[in-house]
Structure 1
Amino acid sequence: MKVVAFNGSPRQNGNTYQALSIVLEELRKEGIETELVQLGGRKVHGCLACYKCFANKDRRCARKDDDMNIFIEKMLEADGIIVGSPVYFSNVSSEVKALIDRCGLVAKANGDMLQRKVGAAVVAVRRAGATFTYSAINFFFGISQMIVPGSSYWNLGIGWEPGEVLNDAEGVQTFRTLGTNMAWLLKQLNQK
């Protein structure tokens, strides 16, 4: 089993990365392979609404001018997907929004190709807007017919400067519980 996580923050070692690392550590403890992909700060474009993905039905976005199809392929190969984002004006980063919009449309165009994969949102926030960001990511999972595990609280951690999220004891515990619950769910779904 494998989980791919996307760090939607341009701060490669910032609070979103730290939060994702906690979840991934718990998954690895349970014997699940993990991969962390740096999404934030990379050149990714928004959806053009060209709907060529519906005509092509090749599980790819018709745009070829960025790495989105690499990200989509990583999602297809994984059993679980984690999308991590900082809070930008009470929502996801622009790179996460591009991932949601383009991968979401390609998934719909190809028979809900993410259906029954496990999805989890991870949010790093300075102060407010985290639940809107958490919801935006979970809306993507829901419309993609993915299965979302819960935790002891919403999957968010508070911190401003890189690393401060590690001082949020409740957030750290929430991320650990999320990793444990996600591992349990993946194992349940993969029983033969």
Structure 2
Amino acid sequence: MKVLGISGSMRRKGNTAILVQKVLEEVVKGNDSIETEFISLADYEIGPCIGCDKCKEEKECVIATDGWNRIAEAMLDCDVLVVGTPVYYYDVCGQLKNCIDRTYSMYHDRKLAGKYVVTIAVHGTKGADRALETLEGFANTHEFSYLGEIEGQAAEAGEILNDAKALKEAQKVAKRIAELG
């Protein structure tokens, strides 16, 4: 089984990345059969979907000038997706929204259907509920099986490590994932 963690944050080692990686770390504890991969969208330029609908015919996104193809390959290759976002203005961050929109190219043939998903939103004081709703909409559209969500609260670098509730939820979700493998 392969678990892919994607942090939508533009901070490679930010609170969202830390929480996504915490889930991945917990998943492999005591289970050598689970493979994990972590992707930070900070390492990729992901342009927006341009609504050309050529992906319906070509069976993939025709925009080949950015990092989308690498992200798409990793998503198609995983069994479980752990996707996290920092909360900007009560919703997912722009880089992750571009990524979500580009999955439209996978929607036509339901390429992600049947995979599992965990959603994560890290906010400073509020707004995680709406960001999690956006991620839930993404998951439902692609017919993922839902394993849970994690809401973290942190603003300063590394502050997520003080959020006992989020860390406990990360352990619980990781246990659910490990039980699949």
Amino acid at match of 1:145: E
What secondary structure is seen at the aligned counterpart in 1 of 2:56?
helix
> What number of residue pairs does the alignment pair up?
179
Query: In 1, are the aligned partners of 2:4 and 2:82 still within 8 Å (CA)?
Result: yes
Query: 1:20-79 CA distances to partner (integer Å, 9 max, x unpaired)?
Result: 12101111113311110010363211110100000112xx21101101011001011111
Comparing 23-32 with 122-131, greater Cα deviation is found at 23-32
Distance 2:124 2:176 in 1: 26
Summarize deviations over 1:150-177 as a string: whole Å, max 9, x none. 3xxx411111111101101111101111
Q: Which has the higher strand share?
A: 2
Partner of 1:127: 125
- Secondary structure class of the residue paired with 1:114: coil
The aligned counterpart of 2:37 is: 35
Map of 1:17-32 to 2, 5 A cutoff? 17-29=17-29, 30-31=31-32, 32=34
Relative to the length of structure 2, the TM-score reads 0.94
Kept in 2, the 8 Å contact 1:120–1:138? The answer is: no
Once the two structures are TM-superposed, the CA of residue 183 in structure 1 deviates from its matched residue by 2.1
* Counterpart-to-counterpart distance in 2, 1:167 and 1:41: 26
Matched, 1:163 2:158: yes
Give the letter aligned to residue 173 of structure 2.
Answer: L
Tell me what 2:94 maps to.
94
Structural mapping, 1:14-163, within 5 Å: 14-29=14-29, 30-31=31-32, 32-40=34-42, 42-57=44-59, 60-103=60-103, 105-109=104-108, 111-150=109-148, 154-163=149-158
SS at match of 2:82: strand
Q: Deviations over 1:78-110 (max 9, x none)?
A: 11111110001011111110111111x11222x
1:190 corresponds in structure 2 to: none
Q: Distance in 2 between matches of 1:102 and 1:176?
A: 30
TM-score by length of 1: 0.89
* 2:5–2:21 contact (8 Å) kept in structure 1: no
- C-alpha separation in 2, matches of 1:138 and 1:147: 11
Give the superposed CA RMSD: 1.2
Q: Mind listing any 5+ residue stretches in structure 1 that lack a counterpart? A: 188-192
Q: Runs of at least 4 residues of structure 1 off by over 4 A? A: none
State whether structure 2 residue 180 is matched by structure 1 residue 176.
no
Unaligned stretches of 5+ in structure 2? none
> Which AA in structure 1 matches 2:75?
M
2 CA distance for matches of 1:73 and 1:16? 22
